[in-house]
Structures are given as C-alpha cells and as structure tokens.
Amino acid sequence: MRVRWLGWAGVELESDGQRLVIDPLEDPVATFAPLGYDEQRMELPELAPAAAGGALAGLVTHLHRDHADAGALAAALAPGAPVFEPPPPPSGGEPAENLALAQASAELDAAAVARTPLAPWQSRALGPFAITALPAVDGLGDPQVAWLVESHGRRVLHLGDTIFHSYWWRMARRHGPFDLVLAPINGAVVSFPHLQPPSPFAAAMEPEQAVAAAAALGAAMVAPIHYGGFHAEGLYAPVTEARERFLRACASQPFEACVLRVAEPIELE
C-alpha cells in the first residue's frame, strides 16, 4: 500500500492502482472565514492536492471544515463515489450545538456527493481496501471516527484530530497490529464563539499524547499529521515546536517515527 500525506490531515492511499482519500483539504482559508479570519490573520498549512478523479471513496473523520472540504473531495472522487463520515449528532438541543458542523455539511450537500454514515466498529469492502470506522473523541464534542484502512495485510490507522481517550487498547485488540498510525500532534487550544467559556485544554492530541496513544496501539510506525499551520490569534493556538516534541517523545519508544514530507509517498511493502 502506498501512502501520501497531503498536508494537514489529508492522506491519499493507493493499492492495486485504486485510491482512497482521507480528510483532503484544498481551501484552508475557508475554515475560519466565517469567523472573520483570512490568510492575513492566520498561518496556513502547506498542502498538496490528491490525484484528480478516480478515488473509490472519501473518508471523513468529522465534519469540521478543515477535515471535510467538499471541493477537495469532489475533485478526488470518481463519479458517484461515496463519502463515508461519522453518524450525525443526536437530535434535539439548540442549533449552536452543531455550529461547527454546519459549514462543511452544507458544502457537502451542495456538492451532491453521496454521503454514507459509518458508526464505530462498522466496516466496508471497497475494491482492494477494507475500511473500518473506529472510536475517536472530538475536542469540541462533535461526532468523530478514526479510519482504519487495510489492504493486502497492511493496516493504516488515521486518527483525525482526536483527543486522548481510552479506546486505544480495545482498538489494538480487535484490529491491530497497525503498520502505520497517522496521529495529530498540534495540541490546539481553541476559543470559538459557540463554546464559551473556552476550555484551557487542547482540542487535539499534543505530541506526547500522540506518542502515548501509538504505544498503546502497538504501532510499528507513527507519522505526525495535523500540525504546521492554522495559528489564529485569539481563536486557535497550537503548541510550538510540535514536530520536535514529537521526535523527542519517540526517542524512547520501540516504534519508528516517520516524519512525512507533504506529497512524498511512502510504500508499505
């Protein structure tokens, strides 16, 4: 299986000439534009596009705009290909509860992609791939899943931007071992208008937490994702030196730390 990091949380996977994409992003400015933040007011991540057209499916870890870019998904997918996403949030409550989901959801509907919810522990076969939604916990309280992609005996686990949780060991027992775990490391503390007063704790794993998660999962190789951009003063504050902290934390671990370059593929033989 061939794995290509597209920057931020985006990943393209290829096996037997068939492709999947996870959380591709092509328009980072749109993420915080509704809150008045443009490219002049924030740092943006380096990105690369997925291959145009032909992907069997798009996998979305959650419906935040930086993980569910309808334009990026539509550009990568074959005609009629599905987009798999977490189940919707529970009904009821105030509209503000789902404010962070509204933009991406509306854009996906407008793009007319075939949206298919997949709950944790459910699986589907897609060409040479088997995909499984696994537990993840969103830092804003919105539905999220991790995605396991298997092909020819190799397993890649994409953790979205989950916070640290207690499903790691169950995931490892049921679906391990994992050849490659893609783990978020930017540890962003957020202050969004609909989540006030804000939490002082990170809404995604910090580097050391990502390493601890990989150890619990029994990963053979771990690659950091979800870092290197989106610093918006007063709104979204990631940790500094995320990659360096990640590498220091990995130094005493038995697994391999694999720092990917944007758009450069690696092969899992």
pLDDT for the residue numbered 212: 98
Single out the residue of 53, 57, 46, 109 nearest to residue 76, CA to CA: 53
pLDDT for the residue numbered 53: 95
pLDDT for the residue numbered 36: 85
Would you state the structure tokens that stand for residue 232, as one six-digit string?
A: 């918006």
Alpha-carbon dihedral angle through residues 181, 204, 13, 126, given to the nearest 10 degrees: 100
Burial 104-129 (b: 16+ CB within 10 A, else e): bbebbeebebebeebebeeeeebebb
Q: What interhelical angle do 207-217 and 168-175 show, nearest 10?
A: 40
pLDDT for the residue numbered 185: 98
Single out the residue of 112, 169, 104, 118 nearest to residue 147, CA to CA: 118
Mean pLDDT by 10 residues, the chain (269 residues): 98 98 96 84 92 97 98 97 96 85 95 96 98 98 98 98 98 98 98 94 98 98 96 92 98 96 93
Q: How far apart are CA 219 and CA 172, in angstroms?
A: 9
Angle at 264 between CA 258 and CA 267, to 5 degrees: 65
The correct CATH number of 2-267 out of 3.40.50.720, 3.60.15.10, 3.40.630.30, 3.40.50.300 is: 3.60.15.10
HSE-CB at 154 with a 13 A cutoff on CA atoms is 18
pTM: 0.97
Residue with tokens 């299986």: 1
- Residue 196, Cβ neighbours under 10 Å: how many? 8
